Amino acid sequence: MTGKIAILAALVVMALPALAGNITVKGSDTLVILAQKWAEVYMSTHPDVKIQVTGGGSGVGFAALQNQGTDIADASRPIKPKEVGDCIKAFGKRPKEYKVAVDGLSVYVNNDNPVKELDLEQLAGIFTGQIQNWKEVGGKDAPITVYSRENSSGTYEFFKEHVLKGKDFAANAQTMPGTAALLQAINNDPNGIGYGGAAYGAGARALGIKKDANAKAVEPNEETVLNQTYPIWRYLYNYVNPALDKGDIRAYLDWIRSDEGQKIVKEVGYYSLPPDLRTK
Amino acid sequence: MSETTSISKRSVGWMGLKRGHRAHPLEWLVEKGIFIVSLSAIVMVFLIFLFVAREALPIFLGTMNSASVQNVIPVADMGKLTPAQLQAYLGLTPKQFADMDDETKKALMEVKVEEAKEASKDRDAAVNTTSWRYMLRPFQWSGYSKPVYIWQPVSEIQKYNIVPLLIGSLKATLVALLFSVPLALGAAIYVSQLTSPRKREFLKPAIELLAGIPSVVLGFFALIVMATVLQNVFGYQSRLNAFVAGIALGLAIIPVVFSIAEDALTSVPRSYTQAALALGSSKWQAAWKIALPAAIPGVFAAVVLGFGRAIGETMIVLMASGNASIVSWNIFDSTRTMTATIAAELAETVFGGQHYRILFMLGVLLFVVTFVSNFMAELVINRLKLKLEGKQ
C-alpha cells in the first residue's frame, strides 16, 4: 500500500515540471532574433519556464494566434481589423496588444554610391518605379535596382503603407527572402537600394532621410528614432489572447517591457521603448 | 483435361492471380502486403491532389469576392437586425453564431466598422479581383498609365494576375532545358556508346553524384557565386534573373536527364551497334545514326522528366531568380515563378482567405502541368515505340 502511494507520489513529482510554464512565441521574422535572445536570458533566470520561439512572418503569428497554436504572437505591424475579427470568432475577445520595442527602417545603398540622403517623396518615387535613374536624385547616370522584401514580411507592409502611401511597389523590384539576403545583394550591386530593420546594418550604408525637400537629413540612430525626428520608425508588438494573459505569460510579457528586457533590445540592435511605455 | 481444370481452379488466387503451385501462406501474405503498399502510394498522391484542389475550389467556382466596398451597419443598429441577417452580415456559421454571446457580437460589429474605415477610397475597391478576368487579362489599375499584368496580393486593392508567374516559370524552365539537355544527352551518348567500360564505371556515378547536391545548396551557390561571375561575363543589369536561375536549375536536372537517357541508350540491343560497326561505321556514326534514333523514346521521356522536375523546383528559383513579377521575354530580367511565390507567400496568408486559395490554385496548376506533360510524353513515346517496332 505504501509502495503504491510512493510510486504515485514519485509520478506526480516527475510530472510537476511539465505543468510549469511552457510558452510558445510565433511570428515576425524582424523580431525573431530579439525574441530568441529574450527567451534565452529569461530561461536562464527562470529555469522552470520553457519558451519556444519561431519566425515565419507577422502573418504567421496572427494565423497561429487565431488557431490558438501560439500563446504570444510577435508582429512588426499592428493587427488588421480582419485579423481582429478572426480572433474574436476564434476565442471571443480582441487580442491584447503590447508594444515591446521601437524599430527604425533604414534605407540602404551600396557603400560606393555617392548619394547620401533622400527625401520621402524621392524614396516613394524610386520604390514605385517612377524614378529609374540615379542621376534624377543626384547620383551617377545608372539605372536604379530596387530591392524589396517578400510580401509576407511585416517590413514590406510597413514600408508600403508609410513610405509609398499605399501605392504598389515597382513590378521589377527584386524581392529577397530576408533582410540579410537583401543587404548581401546591395553589397554586390553598386546601383542597388533597399530597406530593412536597423539591426542588420553591417556592410551597406544607411541613407539620411529628409521629411521633405527642405528639411535636414536625419540618420537613423537611437536618439533620432526615439524622439521621432527620423521619419521611418515603427513599434514592434506582442499580441496575446486576454484569457491567457496571466501567470507565467504575464510575468514574461512584463519582463520584456521592463528595464532588463529593454537592455537586451539595445544589444540586439533595435531601439528600446521610451520610459513611459515600460513596466515599472 | 478435367484434371488441368481442377488444378487451375485450385491455384487461382485472389483477383485471378494464377500460380503454378499452391501459395505458401507467408508468400501470399507478403505479396498482398506489397500490393497494399503500392496501392497506398497511389492513393496518397490522389489524396494530396484532392486536398489541394479542395482548398482551391472556391477560386475555380468563382465564389470568392475580394471587393472591399460593402455596406456597413453602425453598431447602434445591431438590435434592428434579425438573427439571420446578423449572422450573414458577420459572416458566421450557424454554430459559431449560436455559441457567441452578445458582447462578442458587438465587438465583431465594431471590427466591421473599423474595417470599413480602413477600406480604400480607390475606384478599384469595388472590383472582385479574384475573378478569372482579373487573374488572366491585363487591367489598368488606378495609378498606372496603361493596362498591365500585376501580381501584388498584399495591397489595399489585391491584384492577383497569375500571367507573370506562368511566364516566369516557363522562362526559367526553358533556360534550364536549353542548358542541361545538350550537356546531359552528350554525356549520356559518350558514357554509353563512345567510352571504354572502365571509364564508364566511374563516369556514370560521378555525373549522378550531381543529383546528391541539395537544391538549397545549389540555390545558395547560384546566389552568391554564380550570379556575380555571370554578371561579370555577360554584363547585364539585374544580378539575379531567369538566366542565373535557369543555369542553376539546369545543374539540378542534368543528373535526371542523364540517368534516364543513358539507361535508354544502353538498352538499345547491342546487335544494332555491332551490326553498324561490322559494316564499317565509326563509333560516333553508330552512336549518332543508329543508337540514338533507336533510343529516342527513352531520351524523350528523360527530357520530359527533366521539364517536370525543373518546373516544380522551388529553392533554387526562390534564391536566384530575383522574384520580380514582370512580364517580359528577356531572359536577363528578374522573374518570379509559381513555386517561389507559393513558398514565399503562404506563411502570411490568412487560412481560408483569398490569397491562400489562390496560392493553392497555383499548386493545382503545377500538378496539372506536370500531369499533362507526363501524359503527353507517354502518348508520344508509345507512338515512337510503335513506329520503331512497326517498321521492323
Sign of the four-CA dihedral A194, A199, A200, A206: positive
**Residue where a domain stops, chosen among B160, B184, B215:** B160
Q: Which of A4-13, B4-13, B248-257 has the highest mean pLDDT?
A: B248-257
C-alpha span between B332 and A126 (Å, rounded)? 21
Q: For the residues B81-109, what does the mean pLDDT come to? A: 78
**Residue where a domain stops, chosen among B127, B160, B193:** B160
Distance of CA B128 to the CA centre of its chain: 27
**Residue where a domain stops, chosen among B104, B130, B160:** B160
Residue B61 has pLDDT above 90, yes or no: no
The residue of chain B with its CA nearest to that of A84 is: B111
The percent of chain A in helix, strand and coil, each rounded to the nearest 5, is 45, 25, 35
C-alpha span between A102 and A114 (Å, rounded)? 29
Phi (first) and psi of residue B345, to 5 degrees? -105, -20
HSE value, Cβ hemisphere, 13 Å, CA-based, for A60: 20
Are B142 and B175 in a shared domain?
no
B186-210 in b/e form (b: 16+ CB < 10 A) is ebbbbbbbbeeeeebeeebeebeeb
The residue assigned the cell 544580378 is B239
What is the model's pLDDT at position A219? 83
Cβ of B322 within 8 Å of Cβ of A83? The answer is: no
Q: Is residue B9 part of a domain?
A: no
What is the model's pLDDT at position B191? 94
Q: Is residue B209 part of a domain?
A: yes
AA letter at B242? A
> pLDDT tier at B167 (50, 70, 90 boundaries)?
very high
The CATH number of the domain holding residue B325 is: 1.10.3720.10
Are B258 and B215 in a shared domain?
yes
Q: Judged by CB atoms within 8 Å, which residues 284-313 of B form the interface with A?
A: none
Q: Which of B107, B319, B351 sits opposite A94 (nearest CB)?
A: B107
- Residue-by-residue pLDDT tens, chain A, 280 positions: 565 665 665 565 555 444 457 899 998 877 888 999 999 999 999 999 999 999 877 878 888 898 888 999 998 888 888 888 888 888 888 899 999 998 888 899 998 999 988 999 999 999 999 999 999 998 899 999 999 988 877 788 888 888 998 888 998 899 887 787 888 888 888 899 999 877 666 678 888 888 887 888 888 877 888 888 888 888 899 999 998 888 889 999 999 999 999 999 988 878 888 888 888 6
Are B167 and B155 in a shared domain?
no
What is the model's pLDDT at position A228? 81
Q: Which of A183-192, B60-69, B210-219, B378-387 has the highest mean pLDDT?
A: B210-219
What is the model's pLDDT at position A200? 65
Are B234 and B353 in a shared domain?
yes
To the nearest whole Å, the CA of B150 is away from the closest chain A CA by: 7
Q: For the residues B326-339, what does the mean pLDDT come to? A: 92
As for the ipTM of the complex, it is 0.72
Q: Which of A151, A153, A188 sits opposite B239 (nearest CB)?
A: A188
The residue of chain A with its CA nearest to that of B223 is: A185
Question: What's the N-to-C CA distance of chain B in angstroms?
Answer: 39
Q: Which of A86, A156, A166 sits opposite B350 (nearest CB)?
A: A86
Give chain A's contact residues with B (Cβ, < 8 Å): 56-60, 62-63, 67, 80-86, 88-89, 92-94, 143, 145, 150-153, 156-157, 160, 166-169, 171-177, 181, 184-185, 188-189
Q: Is residue B48 part of a domain?
A: no
Are B237 and B345 in a shared domain?
yes
Are B198 and B342 in a shared domain?
yes
Are B150 and B179 in a shared domain?
no
pLDDT tens for B202-226 read 999 999 898 999 999 999 999 989 9
Q: Contact at 8 Å (CB) between A71 and A245?
A: no
What is the model's pLDDT at position B120? 65
pLDDT tens for B114-151 read 877 776 667 777 778 888 888 898 888 887 888 989 89
Domain extent at residue B277? 163-391
The residue of chain B with its CA nearest to that of A83 is: B350
Residues contacting residue A136 through CB under 8 Å, at least 6 positions apart: none
What is the model's pLDDT at position A14? 55
Are B122 and B256 in a shared domain?
no
Number of domains in chain B: 2
What size, in residues, is chain A?
A: 280
